[in-house]
């Protein structure tokens, strides 16, 4: 007589189990979402507060980790030389603390969103003076966030597509030594935090991915600590890397003894979206998450925000959008369930995927009528 009740009780925890809960069951450390401070959203012309948005962000089963999309970058944290400001970054850090989320911290040395004073022609850096600037920045920012980050993106995006170093004030003055200096400094400031090199278009074997392998080996050969490589994973729905390519890329880093995490996953599509592009997107998300589940070195997945109106994509790629998992009306993309499948099975099953997609599209059409 108690049979159905026992069954119901056994199922209850799973009815609320969501992305992070399934990620943990799949052996990952977290499934996370980056988020911006309301101030940043206001600047982008968006309404600052969304109750539904906050409820999802703070649903412990949905996301087990977060990253500030902007607030910890140099432009905000050291807008003038020696003047540090942590207001923007702290907003996201305090959400992480209140909710007990793992925090990936982003990004210490990057030539973009850099404070103008670092690049000013008048600065006229020598290797010595610019080295002192890097050490002061890395030290102050990391000290402020000490104990609150699982990982730091120490250097972000330092290569061109062909695998050579890209032009930046750091490379022009210091050559590849700026990377060594940033990692060496970070390891001294907080030895227990994971130190990552973070980049996009390295999620399949390519000259650029080889370039990142070279950076990892360069640091290791000099005895400098590097713990991880971040696969940003900014994909295009119509041409993402395959599951096997991603597993091969993760394994190549794993062979060097570093961990891998998807750090900024999103899959953009041409607008208006249609059934086909949504299906491509669902497959692309499933393959990325499936690769992370299957490849031993991969420890977690972060999506670059979760709500379409807060995505960076349409600002950078006009005509493309809907890259995340929640539409503007807070309905979920079909990719959401494809990810859950991938977390359960290592990849989505094509048959289940088709059936589910048809049901979701019908529900969405009904809602829009
Ligand atoms: O999401 C960020 C967006 O709000 C900023 O305007 C943009 C400026 O470059 O940076 C975005 O985040 C980037 C991240 O820091 C590094 N990888 C690429 C991301 C998308 O541009």
pLDDT value for 13 = 37
Cα–ligand 1 centroid distance for 263 (angstroms): 12
Ligand 1 atom with least separation from CA of 311: 1
pLDDT value for 362 = 61
Distance CA 292, CA 33 (A): 16
Distance CA 340, CA 293 (A): 11
Nearest C-alpha to atom 15 of ligand 1 is from which residue? 69
Contact 267, 281 (CB under 8 A): yes
pLDDT value for 1 = 35
Nearest C-alpha to atom 21 of ligand 1 is from which residue? 312
Cα–ligand 1 centroid distance for 147 (angstroms): 25
Cα–ligand 1 centroid distance for 312 (angstroms): 7
Question: Which of 62, 78, 264, 279 is an active site residue?
Answer: 264
Listed by start position, the domains of the chain span: 4-368
Ligand 1 atom with least separation from CA of 73: 15
Cα–ligand 1 centroid distance for 66 (angstroms): 15
Please choose from 33, 37, 113 the residue to mutate so as to test ligand 1's pocket, defined by most ligand atoms within 8 A of CB. 113
pLDDT value for 45 = 76
pLDDT value for 355 = 56
Question: Which of 78, 157, 203, 259 is an active site residue?
Answer: 157
Please choose from 35, 36, 70, 109 the residue to mutate so as to test ligand 1's pocket, defined by most ligand atoms within 8 A of CB. 70
Q: What is the chain's pLDDT, residue by residue, as a tens digit (369 residues)?
A: 334 433 443 443 344 459 999 999 999 999 999 999 877 777 677 776 788 999 999 999 999 999 999 999 999 999 999 999 999 999 999 999 999 999 999 999 999 999 999 999 889 999 999 999 999 999 999 999 999 999 999 999 999 999 999 999 999 999 999 999 999 999 999 999 999 999 999 999 999 999 999 999 999 999 999 999 999 999 999 999 999 999 999 999 999 999 999 999 999 999 999 999 999 999 999 999 999 999 999 999 999 999 999 999 999 999 999 999 999 999 999 999 999 999 998 766 555 555 555 555 565 555 545
HSE, CB side, 13 Å, CA atoms: give it for residue 290. 22
Residues with CB under 6 A from ligand 1: 69-70, 112-113, 156, 232, 264, 312
Ligand 1 atom with least separation from CA of 34: 1
Ligand 1 atom with least separation from CA of 200: 17
Cα–ligand 1 centroid distance for 311 (angstroms): 9
Cα–ligand 1 centroid distance for 299 (angstroms): 22
Ligand 1 atom with least separation from CA of 44: 4
264 is catalytic: yes
pTM to 2 decimal places: 0.91
Ligand 1 atom with least separation from CA of 232: 17
pLDDT value for 17 = 52
Cα–ligand 1 centroid distance for 188 (angstroms): 27
Nearest C-alpha to atom 16 of ligand 1 is from which residue? 156
Distance CA 223, CA 225 (A): 6
88 is catalytic: no
Query: What would be the CATH architecture of the domain defined by 4-368?
Result: Alpha-Beta Barrel (3.20)
Nearest C-alpha to atom 14 of ligand 1 is from which residue? 69
DSSP 333: P
Please choose from 73, 307, 312 the residue to mutate so as to test ligand 1's pocket, defined by most ligand atoms within 8 A of CB. 312
Q: Bridge-partner residues for 321, per DSSP?
A: 269
């Amino acid at each position: 007589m108690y049979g159905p009740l026992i069954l119901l009780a056994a199922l209850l925890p799973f009815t609320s189990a969501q992305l992070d809960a399934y990620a943990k069951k799949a052996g990952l450390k977290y499934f996370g979402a980056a988020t911006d401070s309301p101030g940043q959203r206001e600047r982008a012309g968006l309404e600052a507060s969304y109750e539904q948005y906050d409820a999802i962000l703070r649903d412990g089963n949905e996301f087990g980790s977060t990253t500030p999309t902007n607030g910890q970058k140099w432009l905000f944290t050291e807008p003038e030389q020696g003047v540090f400001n942590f207001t923007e970054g702290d907003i996201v850090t305090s959400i992480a603390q209140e909710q007990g989320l793992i925090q990936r911290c982003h990004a210490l040395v990057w030539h973009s969103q850099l404070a103008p004073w670092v690049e000013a022609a008048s600065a006229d850096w020598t290797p010595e003076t610019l080295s002192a600037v890097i050490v002061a920045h890395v030290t102050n920012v990391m000290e402020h966030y000490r104990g609150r980050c699982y990982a730091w993106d120490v250097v972000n995006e330092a290569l061109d597509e062909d695998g050579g170093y890209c032009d930046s004030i750091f490379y022009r003055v210091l050559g590849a030594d700026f990377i060594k200096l940033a990692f060496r400094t970070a390891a001294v400031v907080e030895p227990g935090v994971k130190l990552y090199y973070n980049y996009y278009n390295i999620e399949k074997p390519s000259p650029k991915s080889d370039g990142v392998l070279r950076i990892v080996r360069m640091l290791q050969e000099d005895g400098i600590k590097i713990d991880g490589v971040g696969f940003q994973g900014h994909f295009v729905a119509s041409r993402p890397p395959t599951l096997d390519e991603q597993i091969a890329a993760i394994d190549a880093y794993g062979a060097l003894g570093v961990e891998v995490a998807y750090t900024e996953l999103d899959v953009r599509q041409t607008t208006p979206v249609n059934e086909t592009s949504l299906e491509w997107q669902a497959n692309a998300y499933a393959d990325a998450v499936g690769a992370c589940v299957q490849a031993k070195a991969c420890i977690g997945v972060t999506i670059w925000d979760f709500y379409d109106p807060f995505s960076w994509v349409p600002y950078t790629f006009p005509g493309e959008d809907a890259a995340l998992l929640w539409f503007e009306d807070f309905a979920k993309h079909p990719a959401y369930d494809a990810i859950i499948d991938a977390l359960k099975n290592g990849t989505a099953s094509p048959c289940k995927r088709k059936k589910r997609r048809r049901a979701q599209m019908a529900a969405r059409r009904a809602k829009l009528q």
